[in-house]
Structures are given as C-alpha cells and as structure tokens.
C-alpha cells in the first residue's frame, strides 16, 4: 500500500525517526535474544534508518532488506551502501526466497499496512527456518480505536477495513504453527498503543 505525503515525510525525517527506532530495535534485540551471525530478512525497510540499526544491534551474517515502495528502496540503498546489506523491492506476500531460508524476520510496524496480512504471515512462515524467529513491533486496528488513534486516521492512510485486531493476529500466528515467546505492549510516542512480539516457528 502506497503512503500519502504525510506518511512519506515521517518515513524520511531521519533525525526523529532514528531516535524513535533506536529504542525499538534495541528492545527487539533484547527480548528476542537472537545470537549474532544469523541470516536476517527485514520487511518494509522504509528509508533505511531501521536497517542500519538492525545491522548494528543484531550483527547478522547476512541482512536482506526489502521494501514495497521502489523510491524508498533507492533511498535505503544509498543509506546502507557502506554496509554488507542487500536491498531490494519486494511484495511481502510473495517473496523470491526459498523455503526455510532465514533464521529471523524483523519488521518495524509493517504488516498492518498490508490488506491481505494473512498471506504475508503465510509467506513469512514459509521462509523462516524451523526454530527461527519472527521479531516485530506492530500495530493493530485496536491502536486506531482509541481517542488519539481516531485522530491519527485523519493523517495516515491504512487499510483500516482489513486491519487485524491484536487477538486475530496472535490467533493466526498460532494457527500457522508459531509459538508466541514474547508479547508485550508498547506506547508509541505516548499516544498510540501497539505491541512487541517474538514468535518461534515450531
């Protein structure tokens, strides 16, 4: 799903985004306890700020960063050109990757943008190795049902009619064969509530 001008501004405002995402990536690294030197896929890399932070904290042997928006792919490629990172355009519901290819998939508030989110989770389950991890910070429709969430709807475009509740998301992961290892709330900028999640493919 394409972003509007306001969302594009938020995605490319490096200073604020770097501060915000550093805390998130640090927390995801802490709760996942993923060892270094793993093969990692990042979904929805945006402008590459999160990509650099994932590289810094998780210290992967290989990091592939994917993004649906081709203009952001070009920005990320420039931002991480000094790192050993492959950046490419991709649709999270149909990756080119082999079955059981990645030790972990990391997403920083990405899946709620995808109307057919079940297909995206199917695909992530396919490409994660047995015993591998899905490591995400995510939003649900519950986020946009609060007072501040309803206000934010006026500024950001999401597939609200197709967005999952937190319960639906968790239930679907379990149905696919993921074990939920960590599920904890996170308050986004003090106004919107979302969650951290670490799920292991069994």
Domains and CATH numbers, the chain: 5-201 (3.40.50.150)
User: Worst-scoring range by mean pLDDT, 29-33, 94-98, 122-126, 139-143?
Assistant: 139-143
Q: In the chain, what percentage of residues exceed pLDDT 70?
A: 89
Question: What is the per-residue pLDDT for 160?
Answer: 78
pLDDT, average across residues 103-128: 97
CB atoms within 10 A of CB 30: 11
Collapsed DSSP state (helix, strand, coil) of residue 10: helix
Question: What is the per-residue pLDDT for 10?
Answer: 52
For the chain, the average pLDDT equals: 90
Question: What is the per-residue pLDDT for 148?
Answer: 72
- Checking if the pLDDT of 1 tops 60, the result is no
Residues 11/72, Cβ–Cβ less than 8 Å = yes
pTM: 0.88
């Amino acid at each position: 799903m394409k972003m509007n001008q306001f969302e594009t501004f938020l995605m490319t405002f490096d200073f604020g985004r770097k501060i915000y995402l550093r805390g998130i990536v640090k927390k995801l690294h802490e709760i996942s306890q993923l060892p270094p030197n793993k093969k990692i896929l990042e979904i929805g890399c945006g402008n590459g700020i999160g990509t650099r932070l994932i590289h810094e904290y998780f210290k992967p042997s290989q990091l592939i960063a994917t993004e649906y928006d081709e203009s952001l792919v070009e920005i990320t490629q420039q931002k991480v050109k000094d790192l050993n990172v492959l950046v490419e355009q991709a649709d999270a519901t149909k990756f080119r990757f082999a079955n059981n290819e990645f030790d972990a998939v990391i997403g920083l508030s990405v899946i709620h943008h995808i109307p057919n989110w079940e297909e995206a989770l199917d695909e992530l389950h396919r490409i994660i190795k047995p015993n591998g991890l899905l490591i995400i910070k995510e939003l649900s429709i519950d986020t946009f049902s609060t007072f501040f969430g309803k206000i934010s709807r006026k500024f950001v475009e999401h597939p609200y009619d197709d967005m999952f509740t937190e319960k639906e998301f968790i239930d679907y992961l379990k149905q696919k064969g993921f074990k939920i290892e960590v599920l904890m709330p996170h308050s986004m900028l003090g106004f919107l509530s979302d969650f951290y999640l670490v799920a292991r493919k069994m």
